[in-house]
Amino acid sequence: MASPKGQSRVESRRKKTTSRLLKFKEKYLSWKYARYLALDPSALPIVALLIVLAEAVINVLVIQHVPYTEIDWVAYMQECEGFLNGTTNYALLRVKQR
């Protein structure tokens, strides 16, 4: 069956893809939709999902690009030791210098 107006299948498919992208852009990449997400309580599940996804991506990037340092672990354990020795005021906990 010939496509309408003599268009090839590739051209027809390309136009459909372009129109879908334009519809997506008009609907979801607009100030109206952003205002809906920010102000409408019914958008809370969408916003929560976006926050969880963003946090997951950021966590993966940080884990991949920030090297582990032994200094951080030693300092943390010294703070834990201070707490276990009875210091409950965080301001009084000090890291021992090497």
pLDDT tens digits along 11-64: 777 777 888 889 989 999 999 999 999 999 999 999 999 999 999 999 999 888
pLDDT of residue 59: 92
pTM metric for this prediction: 0.52
pLDDT of residue 5: 58
pLDDT of residue 16: 79
pLDDT range class, residue 75, cuts 50, 70, 90: confident
Q: Are 74 and 80 contacting, i.e. CB atoms less than 8 angstroms apart? A: no
At residue 90, does pLDDT exceed 60? yes
Return the ∠ at Cα 22 (arms to 52 and 44), rounded to 5°: 25
Question: What's the rounded Cα separation, in Å, for the pair 22 and 52?
Answer: 27
Q: Where are the domains of the chain?
A: 69-98
